[in-house]
Structure 1
Amino acid sequence: MVSSLRITEIFHSLQGESNTVGLPTVFIRLTGCPLRCVYCDTSYAFTGGKKTAVDAIIAQVEQYATRYVTVTGGEPLAQASCLELMTKLLDKGYFVSLETSGALDVSGVDPRVSKVMDLKTPSSGELSKNRYQNIDYLTPNDQVKFVIGNDEDYEWSKAILAEHDLPGRCEILFSPTMGQQNPTELAEKILRDRLSVRFQVQLHKILWDDARGK
């Protein structure tokens, strides 16, 4: 049986977040997500999409001649064949990152994948969906992202860092919610508290605002 995935879009852009920010990357956006974060900027990927064979997806990726591939959503892990897709891409020599909400089990993800996993903050509206068991499967190759919308989010995130010794496991990303958290204020808090985290803004939104496929 031919494996397939429901795909919203495949596009070539600069990586806007994570520790590969700025690098030309092919994005594979899978359709569907079990979460409804209040700040979500990809709600168009909740439904629809086109059922596409895994090998056909890889053929599209190969057209762009870049070694960086990000599998995103929606929530990619909501489709079982996502695991097969990532392993096949890795076997072809691609650097593969996975953007995941942290709500679904990551234990089956190929250890060569760089997982960029959210831990949902209180203002996301999906705090209860965090699957803290996933922390046990994080490696130095991975990153945990906190989207910070206000002071409560910031203090909660600091507490989670300490409780789970996250800086000792992997890289940590603090990202301000666009239009809600002043980025300069967040940067100053990080410096004040001597946090071992990477501050990031969404480069793609600075360059292209909310243009789809960028």
Structure 2
Amino acid sequence: MESSGKAPALKISEIFLSLQGESSRVGLPTVFVRLTGCPLRCVWCDTAYAFSGGQTMSLPEVLAEVATHDVARVCVTGGEPLAQPACLPLLGALCDAGHAVSLETSGALDIGQVDARVARVVDVKAPGSGESDRNRWQNLALLTVNDEIKFVLKDRSDYEWARQLIVERQLAALCPLLFSPVDGELAAATLADWLLADRLPVRFQLQLHKILWGKLRAR
């Protein structure tokens, strides 16, 4: 699809309908708008195909494509969606169109200008990602109970790092917290046992889409 030339334009990797695989919205039918590009290179990234390529679409074209799926919930993801300035007007336009909108972001970029109606799922990068020095800690003060913090953990060291961070920064008082194991690196049952032993106030989650459809269709 060619862009109409009207600003703002976005580079889109894909738009598709699936079940939300993560967060408190897990299992709900959701339209995913995946933006191309990401300034981070997490060692366990499972969407590296979104680093480049895609097609340029105008904002009206994106909204029209989303509308064809006839689903209320929309998740804007990447890559890192906030790396594209036009992501901000996209989020607002989706809300204006009546969608329940969530944003999946690495947490490395400023979330302060995101429309207040959007639920922000902020990924705090643990050391095992190779990108923990990219965490933008100022974002934590901007979070509300409508948002969520996600930790993707590769090993015991990542877990202990996240556990300490929760205590030191009192993250449980900010918003819901999500813990996920890196697929193929940390056994899900092992992480579950650690959480139970420590009684951490977090939600354990697996990537539902991978359980249902496997890595080839993982979104």
Range class of TM-score, shorter chain: over 0.9
Query: Aligned match of 2:39 in 30, 34, 42?
Result: 34
Local SS of the residue matching 2:104: strand
CA distance in 2, matches of 1:71, 1:136: 22
Q: Percent identity?
A: 54
Alignment match, 1:2: 7
1:139 matches 2:139: no
CA distance in 2, matches of 1:163, 1:134: 16
Distance change >3 Å, CA 57–CA 213, structure 1 → 2 = farther
1:112 matches 2:120: no
1:81 matches 2:62: no
CA distance in 1, matches of 2:133, 2:183: 22
CA distance in 2, matches of 1:127, 1:121: 5
Local SS of the residue matching 1:162: helix
CA distance in 1, matches of 2:35, 2:52: 10
Structure 1 gap ranges (5+): none
Alignment match, 2:212: 207
Local SS of the residue matching 1:2: coil
1:191 matches 2:196: yes
CA distance in 1, matches of 2:214, 2:186: 17
The one-letter code sitting in structure 2 at the alignment partner of 1:167 is A
Equivalent pair of 2:210/2:217 in contact (CA under 8 Å): no
Q: 1:143-158 counterparts in 2 under 5 A?
A: 143-158=148-163
Alignment match, 1:15: 20
CA distance in 1, matches of 2:216, 2:148: 25
Alignment match, 1:90: 95
> Structure 1, residues 101-137: CA drift from partner, whole Å, max 9, x if none?
0000000001110000000001101011000000011
Local SS of the residue matching 1:211: helix
Query: Aligned match of 2:185 in 180, 183, 198?
Result: 180
**TM-score using structure 2 length:** 0.96
**TM-score using structure 1 length:** 0.98
Q: How many Å apart are 1:162 and its aligned residue?
A: 1.1
Structure 2 gap ranges (5+): 1-5
Aligned length: 214
CA distance in 2, matches of 1:193, 1:51: 47
Q: Stretches of 4+ moved more than 2 A in 1?
A: 211-214
The one-letter code sitting in structure 2 at the alignment partner of 1:196 is P
Equivalent pair of 1:9/1:213 in contact (CA under 8 Å): no
Equivalent pair of 2:106/2:124 in contact (CA under 8 Å): yes
